[in-house]
Structure 1
């Protein structure tokens, strides 16, 4: 489900570049947006084929 959601979002907006787990955690710890502060939660990885979503539009 996360792949479909992120794939659909990638059609409407540019997603941030992928980063290493530790880099993602550091970004979350220093985020300005309260909703983005998830550094104590579970980290999930999802592979999104954005080209495939755009092709099947």
Structure 2
């Protein structure tokens, strides 16, 4: 269960994080506050912001 791509829905105080594996299956869905983003740890992968 390795995250290949992380999508970030950017907002002022809450971020939606969505991670998928190589096959396109969802492996991570989280709602994080700005301070929690610093604590998010993942292996190196592609990150795509969405504004």
TM-score normalised over the length of structure 2? 0.28
Which has the larger share of strand? 2
Higher helix content, 1 or 2: 1
Q: Which has the larger radius of gyration?
A: 1
TM-score, scaled to structure 1:
0.27
